[in-house]
């Protein structure tokens, strides 16, 4: 019987059927960070349980680490949370890429970089953006803390229902200056912030195939922003070349890689496989996208205007964002520009952003910062001189972490201020109480930083 990519990975990992049509799934990689794990380790300790597969479990610090060079203050709640992870990892034998480790970084950036993320695996993490890893054809779920404890103890995840399948078929070619970020914002805009609930999305078609792994990760990363259970892209040569790169110490080598390659070649939806639902997007005429409201679905073309509200949520969003219908995005001044997050802080993102920033200056009165996704992205960017380009243009250059995406570590947008951000959620208060976030691609972020208002990056080239 013809099956989809999702069904193949699901079936390969099914340990048992559960009542109600769900299943118990075996988990191949469990990524752990400081914020959603302390209560899970406490639960293990109280029950006298151990971590079943410490060899498949990996921890790092990202949400709560300072990125401005401040030392970690052990007296603060953040400092205590970071040391709790260190203590828990030692006690339970889990490897930790800590604050001063060259492998530290945002969990969804380092997983692929280190070779932990592989085609056809099941991957979980106590973070909703775990969907990122689906770019490799992995089945990757964000989970809650009780589930973190469950996976630590059993190396399995209970799925109470089997997700439905949704194919997003892409056609056409992206114009220069239009990026994977614009593709996923356009998809979410079309399907709605809850439009993917209950589905695993497979992104297909020529526009996705043409993307490098960085762009594919950006797309899968934001699957959760339409409520999808996961996002996936079938592995191909691009995927395997990425995994085979020399600097992936945790990826299989030699005979093990050959087995992985053979497994990967079968990981695609069969001809004639049926999806529960199919949506399409043609990217030929796609323009840079910018969100205007408080969900990622409230998005317009960058040369567009704030729309008339259609419901109570949009009315509330207009009030919160301090906007009137009809105002052109190009008229809106920004106070802060943030380039970072698990969505857009890979080396490729920084290269594209630096190419626009080179020889230009951040507009007067705008605070702009670049926060690389990992310590090694930072190091590689510095080797290429990108930090110098950003600093010369007036950007701050930070250490790796989640930073201003969610404002846990002191990097925040001030109340009432408007932010152009390469992150993933323009929610009320997400970047700090009263912050007004607009989501954009890295190149749009730089163009906006330079001109001070939302700007189509293609007008600068």
Partner 1 sequence: MDAFTVHTGRIAVYDADQVDTDRIIPARFLSRVERSGYGELLFKDVRAEDFPLDRPDAAGASVLVVGTNFGCGSSREHAVWAIQQAGYRAVIGRRTAETAGFSDIFRSNAGNCGLCLVDLDEEAHAALVAAGSGAEATVDLERQEVRLGDKALPFTMNPGTREQLLAGLDLIGTTLVHESAIGAKEASWDSFRPPDGAVERRQPSE
Q: How far is the CB of 158 from partner 1 (least distance, A)?
A: 6
In DSSP terms, which residues pair with 205 in a beta bridge?
A: 170
Q: How far is the CB of 168 from partner 1 (least distance, A)?
A: 17
Identity of the residue, 151 or 440, whose beta carbon is nearer to partner 1 in the bound complex: 151
Identity of the residue, 53 or 328, whose beta carbon is nearer to partner 1 in the bound complex: 53
Distance of alpha carbon 82 from alpha carbon 62, whole angstroms? 10
Identity of the residue, 22 or 452, whose beta carbon is nearer to partner 1 in the bound complex: 22
Q: How far is the CB of 205 from partner 1 (least distance, A)?
A: 24
Q: How far is the CB of 212 from partner 1 (least distance, A)?
A: 22
Q: In the Cβ-directed half-sphere of 120, how many Cα atoms lie within 13 Å?
A: 18
Classify strands 23-26 and 14-17 as parallel, antiparallel or unpaired: antiparallel
Name the H helices within 222-330. 237-244, 254-265, 312-321
Q: How far is the CB of 19 from partner 1 (least distance, A)?
A: 5
Identity of the residue, 175 or 244, whose beta carbon is nearer to partner 1 in the bound complex: 244
Torsion of CA 242, 246, 251, 257, to 10 degrees: 80
Residue-wise burial string across 72-83, b where 16 or more C-beta atoms lie within 10 A, e elsewhere: beeeeebeebbe
Burial of 362 (0-12, 13-18, 19+ CB in 10 A): buried
Identity of the residue, 265 or 333, whose beta carbon is nearer to partner 1 in the bound complex: 265
CA nearest to 140, candidates 154, 153, 125: 125
Q: Which residue in this structure is represented by tokens 């203590």?
A: 87
* Residue 118 three-state SS: coil
Q: How far is the CB of 331 from partner 1 (least distance, A)?
A: 26
Identity of the residue, 30 or 181, whose beta carbon is nearer to partner 1 in the bound complex: 30
First-to-last CA distance in the chain?
A: 50
Q: How far is the CB of 124 from partner 1 (least distance, A)?
A: 10
Give the chain's radius of gyration (CA, Å). 21
Q: Which residues contact 351 (CB under 8 A, 6 or more apart)?
A: 381, 384, 386
Q: How far is the CB of 429 from partner 1 (least distance, A)?
A: 5
Identity of the residue, 171 or 313, whose beta carbon is nearer to partner 1 in the bound complex: 313
Identity of the residue, 42 or 396, whose beta carbon is nearer to partner 1 in the bound complex: 42
Q: How far is the CB of 2 from partner 1 (least distance, A)?
A: 23
Identity of the residue, 84 or 305, whose beta carbon is nearer to partner 1 in the bound complex: 84
User: Are residues 421 and 405 in contact, defined by beta-carbon separation less than 8 angstroms?
Assistant: yes
Burial of 112 (0-12, 13-18, 19+ CB in 10 A): buried
Distance of alpha carbon 178 from alpha carbon 301, whole angstroms? 11
Burial of 258 (0-12, 13-18, 19+ CB in 10 A): exposed
Identity of the residue, 29 or 133, whose beta carbon is nearer to partner 1 in the bound complex: 29
Q: How far is the CB of 190 from partner 1 (least distance, A)?
A: 12
Backbone angles phi, psi at 336, to 5 degrees: -135, 145
């Amino acid at each position: 019987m013809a099956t989809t990519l999702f069904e193949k990975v699901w079936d390969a990992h099914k340990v048992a059927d559960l009542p109600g049509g769900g299943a118990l799934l075996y988990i191949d990689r469990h990524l752990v960070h400081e914020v959603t794990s302390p209560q899970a380790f406490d639960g293990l300790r109280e029950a006298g349980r151990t971590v079943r597969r410490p060899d498949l479990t990996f921890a790092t610090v990202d949400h709560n680490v300072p990125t401005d060079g401040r030392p970690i203050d052990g007296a603060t709640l953040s400092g205590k949370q970071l040391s709790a992870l260190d203590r828990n990892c030692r006690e339970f034998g889990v490897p930790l890429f800590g604050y001063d480790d060259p492998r530290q970084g945002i969990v969804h950036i380092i997983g692929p970089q280190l070779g932990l993320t592989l085609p056809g695996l099941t991957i979980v993490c106590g973070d909703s953006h775990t969907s990122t890893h689906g770019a490799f054809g992995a089945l990757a779920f964000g989970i809650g803390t009780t589930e973190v404890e469950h996976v630590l103890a059993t190396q399995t995840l209970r799925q109470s229902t089997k997700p439905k399948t949704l194919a997003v078929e892409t056609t056409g070619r992206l114009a220069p200056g239009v990026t994977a970020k614009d593709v996923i914002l356009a998809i979410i805009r079309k399907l709605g912030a809850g439009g993917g609930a209950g589905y695993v999305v497979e992104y297909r078609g020529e526009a996705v195939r043409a993307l490098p792994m960085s762009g594919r990760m950006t797309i899968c990363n934001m699957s959760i922003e339409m409520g999808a259970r996961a996002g996936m892209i079938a592995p191909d040569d691009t995927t395997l070349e990425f995994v085979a790169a020399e600097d992936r110490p945790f990826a299989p080598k030699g005979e093990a890689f050959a087995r992985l390659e053979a497994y990967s070649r079968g990981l695609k939806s069969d001809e004639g496989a049926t999806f529960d639902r199919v949506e399409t997007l043609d990217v030929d005429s796609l323009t840079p996208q910018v969100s205007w409201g408080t969900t990622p679905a409230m998005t317009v073309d960058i040369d567009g205007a704030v729309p008339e509200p259609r419901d109570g949520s949009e009315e509330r969003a207009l009030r919160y964002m301090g906007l009137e219908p009809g105002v052109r995005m190009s008229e809106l001044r920004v106070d802060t520009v943030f380039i970072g997050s698990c969505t857009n802080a890979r080396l490729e993102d920084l290269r594209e952003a630096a190419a626009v920033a080179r020889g230009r200056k951040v507009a007067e009165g705008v605070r702009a910062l670049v926060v690389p996704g990992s310590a090694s992205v930072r190091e590689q960017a510095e080797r290429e001189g990108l930090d110098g380009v950003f600093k010369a243009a007036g950007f701050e250059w930070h250490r790796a972490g989640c930073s201003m995406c969610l404002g846990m570590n002191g990097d925040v947008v001030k109340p009432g201020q408007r932010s152009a951000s390469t992150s993933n959620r323009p929610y009320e208060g997400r970047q700090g109480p009263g912050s007004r976030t607009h989501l954009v691609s890295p190149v749009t972020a730089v163009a906006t930083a330079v001109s001070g208002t939302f700007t189509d990056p293609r007008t600068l080239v």
